[in-house]
Copies of this chain bind each other. A is one copy, B any other.
């Protein structure tokens, strides 16, 4: 029943041999890996404007130059990552790149930063997508948190069904989004050239500047806009998800992705500047812009619809990346082994589930506000960018392939650029929430190291190295008898099958009951001796433990097998009507060496 339900939701299991066929074509791959980047066009411009607005409406004109600066950073980072793909054709997470070329600590820092980043990607994208929806349908604004939760659940489900189907599901909206924004930009620029800027609204003149316009505010606006870069690393991470030739396809997708992203992001930012859009809480900048350009017609709702769709689906990049990174880290022993299990559908199900749970928690805590989540966002991304680029520099210096000096120059430019952005982001967003992420990265590193130490210690303790195969073992078999019934008789039979010398043990709480048991023992004991332990305090456990400890001392080289008769009711609730003695005994024996507890189930019919 339950497993039928799972089949219905998750789909039929796939064989390991099918893994190769689950690959992405270039066009599908672009859609899957791009959704995160492209979708940030829907909010990155707005985040720049929101910061500038603090210095008054006049400061908003700075959005365009800041947009161009960010576009420059995007270009540098894309170019750098195309190099990484060449160096790591098997796919290389920043975690692996940093670990291989700098060291464990750098790798774990990148890994922690990325795990946090992926989680925030889900929360931010879904929140922004729902904001696009509530801009168009304001009555849904109060239900935004529950809509976010529903959307995250849906994406997680899609991912539990497997990668190719996710690709298919997400290809169409990505292309619809590109078409929609191309139309917005085209019509927007043409109308501006034709009829000039609209008249300033009443709202615009009502804004009171809260702080002076200085270098700090400009840098803060830049930091906010830098969230546009998140997700670029995903393509380098997932090279093997492409159809062969993987490296070529991945590099081409990354280049095309960069070109589209820069065009849309810069275009939107400049257009918002030209149209004098002022950010507001209840309506997104894109919504205001497309309302001005298209009016309230079907094209407006189309823009809002695909923005929402791509933003909600953008979370999918993270749902592809988080479980994969968790798998790599689990394989290296830095995360619990469970993240290394592939599910029935060739997906790392545990990673998908935990990502969904944490992202939902974030959405609830931050009440589905994109704006509140943004300050936490960029620190993680730029930490892993910087570590990854610096690693590549070290790699070229060590391996010295052809044109190594040129490669060093490219990646060094990338590292310096992203490192500078990281410092700017950390400095300008520290008190807004970046401190949480910095602290969390530190805690995660400690967590990774503790886990790894445990696994190392277990491996060492279990290792057979230098040992010789042991001789045969002997076991003393006891069967615990509380009463005489079919289940007990079966357990006595079983104990005798394990060892002809099996003994029965009975804990006496009432001499009268002992007498009655002894009377029937001749017939039903099947020839086994009966050991009676007295219990003045009516405790079953105390005398039994004493007896077993006594045996362990007497025969320290024997394994003691304690057979427990247990009857299994036909329905689960009936279990509650019986004493949970077996559980108690197992708990007490768990930490005793050389004791094995064996339940012999007797199944009841109803």
Contact = CB atoms under 8 A, between A and B. Distances in A.
Interface of A: 13-17, 336-338, 341-342, 344, 451, 454-455, 457-458, 461-464, 467, 469-470, 472-475, 484-487, 489-490, 493-494, 496-499, 509-510, 523-524, 526, 536-539, 559, 561, 567-569, 574, 576-579, 590-591, 593, 595-606
Contact of A497 (B462, B474, B579, B600): B474
A604 B458 contact: yes
Contact of A494 (B509, B568, B596, B602): B596
Contact of A596 (B458, B591, B601, B605): B601
16 contacts: A13-B539, A15-B537, A16-B510, A336-B576, A341-B579, A454-B569, A455-B577, A458-B569, A461-B486, A462-B567, A470-B490, A473-B494, A494-B559, A498-B561, A568-B591, A591-B603
Contacts of A567: 458, 462
A584 to B, nearest CB: 12
Given A454-B574, A464-B486, A494-B475, A598 B596 contact: yes
A523 B464 CA distance: 11
A44 B215 CA distance: 78
B454 A577 contact: yes
A73 B489 CA distance: 57
Give 3 closest A-B pairs by Cβ, nearest first.
A462-B485, A473-B493, A15-B536
Contact of A472 (B458, B474, B496, B599): B496
A603 B598 contact: no
Contact of A475 (B336, B341, B498, B576): B498
B16 A559 contact: no
Contacts of A498: 475, 498-499, 561
A509 B19 CA distance: 14
Q: Chain copies in the assembly? A: 2
A337 B578 CA distance: 6
B601 A590 contact: yes
Given A461-B604, A462-B604, A475-B497, 20 more contacts: A15-B536, A16-B537, A17-B536, A336-B576, A336-B577, A337-B577, A337-B579, A338-B579, A342-B538, A344-B538, A454-B569, A457-B606, A462-B602, A464-B484, A464-B486, A464-B489, A467-B486, A473-B490, A474-B497, A498-B561
A561 B596 CA distance: 13
Contacts of A489: 464, 469-470
Contacts of A475: 494, 497-498
Contacts of A337: 577-579
Q: Which of A457, A461, A591, A600 has the most CB of B within 10 A?
A: A461
A579 B455 CA distance: 12
Contacts of A17: 536
A586 to B, nearest CB: 9
A493 B472 contact: yes
Contacts of A336: 576-577
Nearest to A488: B462
B577 A590 contact: no
Nearest to A336: B577
Contacts of A467: 486
A579 B596 CA distance: 20
Contact of A593 (B561, B603, B606): B603
Nearest to A574: B454
Nearest to A487: B462
Nearest to A467: B486
B538 A16 contact: yes
Contact of A469 (B523, B536, B538, B561): B523
Contacts of A457: 604, 606
Given A469-B523, A475-B497, A487-B462, A537 B13 contact: yes
Contacts of A595: 601
A496 to B, nearest CB: 6
Contacts of A579: 337-338, 341
Nearest to A563: B596
A577 B341 contact: no
A473 B496 contact: yes
Contact of A509 (B14, B16, B524, B603): B16
Contacts of A474: 497
B464 A493 contact: no
A576 to B, nearest CB: 7
Nearest to A342: B538
Contacts of A559: 494, 497, 600
Contacts of A574: 454
A451 B573 CA distance: 11
Contacts of A524: 464, 469
Contacts of A485: 462-464
Contacts of A14: 537
Contacts of A601: 590, 595-596
Contact of A568 (B537, B590, B603): B590
Contacts of A605: 461
Contacts of A509: 16
B536 A16 contact: yes
Contacts of A510: 16
